[in-house]
Copies of this chain bind each other. A is one copy, B any other.
């Protein structure tokens, strides 16, 4: 409300920034450079899944060029599922598709979707792969959509910190032009709730012999996760489906019903 802070207020996006999740990062330097990139665009929630050299990491701190608030606030997780549990919309950044049936968007369109979810009051995140081989299919399956960069096919070589820089820049650009937050009365489920539904379904199907071909079981399970993960359900709808599954199991367990 004062003239002194007028310019800053205009620049500050009204939407909660996404969490940045690094899957098994190897080099502390890259974690630090990613933190520096984040801080430039006001993104501070850094989550590390099993960083190779442990945590805290002095090399990461040194490479952050003073973004110590990001480094010091970083949280470490044992699994990616735990790292994204509270998020309702997750973008996976990867250029390796390997026959995934996941929707692919450019950074601009992907971040518009993310900002729309954030505007509804739900938490969001962006997932980045390890340095050499990117994201595994099982990791991408946990995301809502894939974002790829419009790189030259003849020379595509972005490291993890460069990808974080581009995505956080684009987030801020999109967020500054986004409509103001407006709490969604019918919010989407968190990734934990989607994973819970999937695990429930797998548990129901397992004894029925649905996954009886051992060489296909992993593929079939991942495919179910993709199907559930992509559905545009509300949190309430996911709860309803959990109830349906529970009801089916109860009936299957009841001998009187086996007629």
* A interface residues (Cβ-Cβ under 8 A, vs B): 7-8, 11-12, 36-37, 39-42, 65-67, 106-108, 149-158, 162, 165-166, 169, 172-173, 176
Contact = CB atoms under 8 A, between A and B. Distances in A.
Contacts of A152: 11-12, 39-42, 172
A155 B66 contact: yes
List the 9 closest A-B pairs by CB distance, nearest first: A42-B152, A39-B155, A40-B151, A65-B157, A8-B153, A150-B172, A166-B169, A162-B165, A40-B158
A150 B173 contact: yes
Contacts of A7: 153
A116 B12 CA distance: 30
A176 B12 CA distance: 29
A67 B156 CA distance: 10
Nearest to A65: B157
Nearest to A157: B65
